[in-house]
Chains A and B, each alone.
Chain A
Amino acid sequence: MSSKAVGERELVARLRAGDEDAFRRLVEDLGPSMLRVAGAYAQDSQVAAEIVQETWMAVLRGLGGFGSRSSLRTWVFTILGNCASRRTKMEARSTPLSSFEVPGGEKDELECFFDANHPRWASCWTTINTRWDALPEDSLSAREAEQAIVEKLKSLPPSQSAVITLRDLEGLSSDEVCSLLGLSHGNQRVLLHRARLAIRRALQEVFD
């Protein structure tokens, strides 16, 4: 058993024994990420906070039966995913995450390509600014980029926002995200692709 797994077993034992300091540290450790993921589902900060609260209640109820087959973090996030999809199904204005039909293509981006029938440049880029990825990280452009990311994440369809938050912001693997969201690998890739394209476009507007 790895030292991390040993540490985790000790932590679980402390939590079961009612060690409040250990619990608070765990909440401080996982809480911000949980809030961000909940926000990707709910897109309303009050609802996101409620999802996180409900998740911790469920974690406490389930603690006695927690086995060590998954890491504590993965287990907590699975519970978070369940709470969030149950909750967002009840919210009339959010799209239920189970109806993962893939929305239409990103039409605004098609203008970047010559027509497929163009005699010389069929399906080639018309214009692309390839400079911005090499721009220096001065604090102004970094702040603007940060702001653009935050705003774009909020405006993505919930399914895309959930996938890109878990994959690219939280660093979960595609297997973890598929099982958490009940997605096929193919659908997960499509949603990730659309979301990354949208964020890239938002960043491009900052740097153009």
Chain B
Amino acid sequence: MFTCRQIYDLITEYDEGSLETGERRQFEQHVVICPPCRGFLSQMRGTRDRLGQHSPPEFPAELEDSIVTAFRTWKKEQQ
């Protein structure tokens, strides 16, 4: 049976599906009977989900303009 410390170390491997069947089973057996590790698992997933909702930074208008200027130059060179 895994310890809480091992669950802590293996949690990403578990979520990435990279544990072998035996380890996976041991992981699940521990989590089922250990409320702190269940909480930890849900925090790690909550962290991942929060990051997924995080919006990218605003794209500066000057940067867009300078990229479009490069496009015009490129277009001229193509002709």
Contacts and interface: CB of A to CB of B under 8 A. Distances in A.
Contacts, number: 126
B57 to A, nearest CB: 6
B68 A130 contact: no
B22 interface: no
B50 A113 contact: no
B67 A53 contact: yes
A171 B40 CA distance: 22
A171 B16 CA distance: 13
Nearest to B43: A133
A128 B68 contact: no
A49 B52 contact: no
Interface in B22-62: 35-40, 42-44, 46-48, 50-52, 54-60
A57 B72 CA distance: 11
Size class of B's contact patch?
35 or more
B21 interface: no
Contact of B56 (A33, A123, A145, A203): A33
Contact of A27 (B67, B72, B78): B67
Given A35-B56, A146-B54, A168-B51, A53 B70 contact: yes
Interface of B is mostly: helix
Contact of B52 (A23, A124, A169): A169
Interface residues of A, number: 49
A35 B54 contact: no
Interface string A19-34: 0100110011001110
B48 A20 contact: no
B67 to A, nearest CB: 5
Interface string A120-149: 001111001110110000000000011001
A130 to B, nearest CB: 3
Interface of A: 18, 20, 23-24, 27-28, 31-33, 35-36, 39, 49, 52-53, 56-57, 60-61, 109, 113, 116, 122-125, 128-130, 132-133, 145-146, 149, 164, 168-169, 171, 174, 185, 189, 192-193, 196-197, 199-200, 203-204
Interface of B: 3-6, 8-9, 11-13, 16, 18, 35-40, 42-44, 46-48, 50-52, 54-60, 63-64, 66-68, 70-72, 74-75, 78
